[in-house]
Amino acid sequence: MAKVTFDKERCKGCGLCETVCPKHIIALEKEIINQKGYHPAGVTDPASCIGCAFCATMCPDAVITVEK
């Protein structure tokens, strides 16, 4: 199982990672606001992650880490 982590304080909530996830398990966390005032992205179902790292590749700020 892959492990995806987000640096939520650096995430600007652009949503690019959401659009490229083939499993559709990444979403902006509407209940959280980081110090910059953005809703950061997060994984809704970590067990479904296949570790493709498309999200990390697409992230313009390199806030996503994928470990297999």
Q: Give one DSSP letter per residue of 10-37, joined into a string.
A: T-----HHHHH-TT--EEE-TT---TTS
pLDDT in tens, 11-59: 999 999 999 999 999 999 999 999 999 999 999 999 999 999 999 999 9
Say yes or no to pLDDT of 7 above 90. Answer: yes
**Whether 54 contacts 20, CB under 8 Å:** yes
Return the domain boundaries, the chain.
3-67
Q: Which residues contact 42 (CB under 8 A, 6 or more apart)?
A: 6, 8, 26, 27, 28, 29, 32
What pLDDT, on the 0 to 100 scale, is given for residue 1? Answer: 80
Helix (H, G, I), strand (E, B) or coil at 3: strand
Say whether domain 3-67 belongs to CATH 3.30.70.260: no
CA distance 52 to 63: 16
